[in-house]
Structure 1
Amino acid sequence: MTISDVRESRSLLRIAGLPYFLIALVARLPFAMMVVGVLTAVVSIRGSLALGGLTSATVGLGTACFGALLGAAADAFGQRRVLLVLAAANAVALALFAAVVYGDTPDGLVLAAAFGIGATAPQVAPLSRARLVTLIRHRIAPERAPRTLSSTMAYESAADETVFVIGPFIVGLLAAATAPWAPLVGAAVLTAVFVGAFALHPTGRLVAPGREDGAAPSSDVRDLFRPRVLVVVGGTLGVGLFFGSMLTSLTSFMADRGRADEAGLMYGVMGIGSALFALGVAYLPARFSLAARWIAFASVLLAGSLSLLLAASPAAMACSLAVIGIGIGPTLVTQYSLAAARSPEGRSATVMTMVGSAVVVGQAMASALTGSVSERFGTSAALLLPIATAALVLIAAVANAVLSRPRA
């Protein structure tokens, strides 16, 4: 009897175990702390906001260049080996960056160290998704699998939103209570301990190459570049572009009112709503297809973005962000569900890291562009960029609907 023949009636929570979800949640925190921690350290120690922004973008660039490759390595060699190497390498990279930024070193070396942080960042979120998708495919009864997959992607997206709200808060707390290097060292410790624990968890054996009894050989690499996969990657790139443009233009909006330090709190209005509505996706009826969900929630995202043009006060801005949160969380859940469903055999970690890296790339690109537009043309011009990126997400949703039609 093969693993794929075993269809258990137990829930995914009981199959994976509660400790798995707790470990996977905390193991995401270092990634959420890295960009903000680097920015805080550079601005505080080097006294340059421009260098700080460039350094944070360089972390994202490192992740963008190597994220999908690390996912492919996990598919080829198993998550456990790859994650153990990355846990050690990333902890060292974080500690090295702290030493470099404090030293009398050229800015180029600071940027190189930041790139190393991004390049070695353990892709816990996409690898967790890939791991849970494997469990669903082989341990959940077929009639329960679609709803379980939807619930799992909803939880994973909510977990991402949660750590990206908590992560910057921890950075600020550690930096204020101790020193600018503290968040970096804290992230290094969390990486070594919890990413290591995530790698060694028993579920890691399920995604080791050759360990799934009766598993089919991995699909051809060309299958990763089929339109039905690429449209999802393009859609998540659009979400990343939205995140970057929204946060940067929001910072400009609050700075115009002398309250730039409150931009993160205001952004949290969107993040909290996004997480809550992401969890709600699990309760949507199965007849509300993934293609239709993407179009519906991307439309809400665009409508909320258009309302930014009417926001003349922080209160009005908070209302716009609340509407945006209704659209953005479910959109991401839908995109990850599509990515899971369309992952070629043996390539789930690769696809999940492609999708995750697209968000990081989009965020880094849009942050740099929006900052430049805000500085040259003002906040009103900068607020047009979230609208444009939301429109791109909707266009990708329509393209996906076309590609999702049954072939004649």
Structure 2
Amino acid sequence: MKKLRTILFAITCTFVIALSTLLPVTAIDDAFDLGKNLYSTNYIFLDADTGQVLSAKKQDEQISIASLTKMMTVLLAIENSSSLNQTVTITDEMIDGLYEEQASVAGYVTGDTATVLDLCYAAAIPSAADAANALAIQIGGSFEKFYQMMNDKAAQLGMNHTVFKSAHGLDREGQYSTVEDVSKLLRYALQNPTFKEIFSTKEHTTQATTYYPFGIPLASTIWAYADTYGYNLTNLSGGKTGYTLQAGRCIAYWATVNDMNIIAVTAGASTNVEQYSNLSDAQTALTSLASWHKKTILKKNDVVSTIEYKSFMHTANIDVKMDKDITLDLPADVECTYEIDLPKKFSAELYDQNIQATITFTADNKTIYTKTISITLPQEKNIFGRIILHLQNFIKG
């Protein structure tokens, strides 16, 4: 019987681990609350590799995200340019109204020429609105067409609570996003090496312009202010800051701490206590994450359940095994357990059965991660068994 069970499992029973479904941590708790000492009102911290949400608060609240918008602008420029060395001529339309709104600008004037790549650096590093507008018109042909491209991309990425109405992120009526949506954008964008390089650059000098014969010197709003005001952002790899009166101080960044690749988005930080409260929050969160570590909860081939499978001639116990390791990020001294909602008994049918089940991982009395599995059980192959099943189905109508 044991040999028969082994053969039955090896030949006829397969299972596929499906895409993870994640549940954010929203409850305030000592171990998991990375935001308890932050100025920001909205935040999300997640593992870039697994998508595990480490901590979050008001992550789906619609808010202004200020210049975090420029990440979408630069991403679309990278993805839709025939060449990043293509030359763009600055027009009045690209810079009109920006000085009146006191927007951050690189200093381009009408008639200047710039490469798409330089404009990407200018929009990303010093958060230049003139560069963002130039990219919008260059890539979209008009502002409105580019905004549509932004919103189409947002929909593609599952940013279901986001509407873009500018390329630079200055406050506009009806324009909003969420920190969770921004984290989706950043997680996707980091797969693009050019995006990653641009948003991790500390300094860059553009080609010569009218008022800058040696090129415009660009400095990152993250590291320039961190160095000036003494914030320790050693583990921070790259990112984008933002600020408007409506949005408060915002920042989206990625960092590596104890082999954990972290994505963080924080927003709504007041400047009443600290001028650069977003950078202060980044320092606080990274310090807290230093006590977190990766922990393998399940290993490949670990048995997560055993099911009884009954066919016409035989009954076999089949072990459901993991096809890969499950490794999660956890605070120090926190244990993680798991449960699977899979019935224990199945009978063969006239068709293959695709069974869905969910493995729920719990730590500190909270669900921190869920994973859906799909198990395929084979159809009844014995001819007499199939005849009986047909008769049973006929009687049932």
- Fold shared by both chains (TM-score > 0.5): no
More helix by share: 1
Structure with more relative contact order (C-alpha pairs < 8 Å, separation 6 or more): 1
TM-score in terms of structure 1 length: 0.22
TM-score in terms of structure 2 length: 0.23
More strand by share: 2
